Amino acid sequence: MSSPAGARAHWSSRWAFILVTAGSAIGLGNIWKFPYMTGTNGGSAFVLVYLACIVGIGVPLLMAETMLGRRGQGNPVDAMRSVAAEAGAARLWQVVGVIGIVGAALILSFYSVVAGWILDYTVLAVQGFGGMDKEDLAATFAALLADPWRLIGWHTAFMLLNLVVVIGGVTGGIERANKILMPALFAIVLLLLGYGIAAADMPAAVRFMFHFEPQAISAPVILAAMGHAFFTLSLGMGAIMTYGSYLERGTSIARTCLYITVADTGIALLAGLSIFAIVFAQGLEPAAGPGLILQTLPLAFAHMPLGNVVGVLFFVLVAFAAWTSGISLIEPATAFLVERFGIGRKPAVAVVCFVAWSIGIAVALSFNLWSEIKLFGLNIFDLLDTLTTKMLMPLAGLLIALFAGWVMKRAHAAEEIGLHGGAFRLWYGTVRYVSPVAIALIFLNVIGVIG
């Protein structure tokens, strides 16, 4: 329900906040991106650095962004304006919120197209991949990418699914959808894990992901893992800040953020283990790249016992995960339009979805009719992905760390985050020093200075 001025909506409990925020964090990043990045970045070396980045950068920043949202009690732009005013700092800090809102809409535009692939593959999985070989599956994926109408159709369907939920409001829509989808998602992950243990090669998957191999760690692996830590925790795009603004005072931000991170990392690791167990049992290639779950896995589904059922379950899982993330990408701009311009929630959601949908059309066409349109050598899809995940997210993350660590009054940060003594000093030291330096390294990599 949209809230009248002055009385913002609130999640119904701290568990609701944990569930919806885990819903935002757990998405295509966990089940599509994490396994293929692990596969192409040397397996366990990537996993080790990724875990270090989650603990050292991700968790402190997740806490900082949630804290700014709750302290600021508003959409990302107004929340930043109010915390900046409280700290006696420049109004320009609102730009953090603007970056988030624009970035979230841009991510949504291509996220929705990729989620559309997953919806398409869910239908293919229902029909079954039986009898298909490697070439057939490569041709199937190529045919999907070559067909603008099929891509746009599924992209539209995914956007509508998200629109319907967000129109329902904070508790009546977002919270309600997550309360159904997230338990279903956890159940499917456990089923797949059970399958991986019982019928696939789990020991090989465990070796691949957790064999201690520090010598395989390189600069590109570190930087890839760090960037992914941002994406998987939904950092810097206003989603966490907006969800945090609906969190009741008095709930421990530190503890809830720890639970959210454990859920996000746990799902990535369990999904990775299940996927690699299937990949190794079928003698497939772990370093297949972005096509890992779309081309390699269906090959496994085609040849394994109960492959049809497992295949459908798998794509439904990915679709649910993408859905609960998609809705969190719509809420920041929606809250901004409602709170700044006083327009109704329904038209606000419609505007946000329409803008992201329109940009998504260009993304869908970048795989076929517009594949020749390139800027800096990147097509529209790669351009948006690079702009958001490699530039806007780290930039917003850097600014959030600087604000929380250097601009906001220390006493206010301590009060809001709910940590004391050594635990507070650990968090504070990390956002002041570790996070900014680490993020600066990502930037240097993007502009090609190192790596």
Nearer to ligand PFF, 30 or 265 (CB): 30
Nearer to ligand PFF, 114 or 221 (CB): 114
Q: Closest separation between CB of residue 137 and ligand PFF, Å?
A: 24
Q: Closest separation between CB of residue 174 and ligand PFF, Å?
A: 13
User: What distance in Å separates the CA atoms of residue 318 and residue 310, rounded to the nearest whole number?
Assistant: 12
Nearest-10 Cα torsion for 233, 329, 6, 347: -170
Query: Is residue 310 within 8 Å of residue 137, measured between CB atoms?
Result: no
User: What distance in Å separates the CA atoms of residue 222 and residue 211, rounded to the nearest whole number?
Assistant: 17
What is the widest separation between alpha-carbon atoms in the chain? 67
Nearer to ligand PFF, 118 or 312 (CB): 118
Q: Closest separation between CB of residue 45 and ligand PFF, Å?
A: 21
Nearer to ligand PFF, 104 or 365 (CB): 104
User: What distance in Å separates the CA atoms of residue 154 and residue 189, rounded to the nearest whole number?
Assistant: 24
Q: Closest separation between CB of residue 389 and ligand PFF, Å?
A: 8
Nearer to ligand PFF, 27 or 394 (CB): 27
User: What distance in Å separates the CA atoms of residue 241 and residue 101, rounded to the nearest whole number?
Assistant: 11
**378: β partners:** 375
Q: Closest separation between CB of residue 411 and ligand PFF, Å?
A: 29
**375: β partners:** 378
Q: Closest separation between CB of residue 397 and ligand PFF, Å?
A: 11
DSSP 3: P
Nearer to ligand PFF, 189 or 239 (CB): 239
User: What distance in Å separates the CA atoms of residue 416 and residue 419, rounded to the nearest whole number?
Assistant: 8
By beta carbon distance, the residue nearest ligand PFF is 29
| Residues near ligand PFF, by CB under 6 A | 24-25, 27-30, 104, 107, 231-232, 234, 237, 239, 325, 328-329
Nearer to ligand PFF, 83 or 233 (CB): 233
Q: What is the separation of C-alpha 431 from the centre of its chain, rounded to a whole number of angstroms? A: 21
Q: Which residues does 113 contact at the CB level (< 8 Å), separation at least 6?
A: 151, 155, 360, 363, 364, 381
Q: Closest separation between CB of residue 114 and ligand PFF, Å?
A: 9
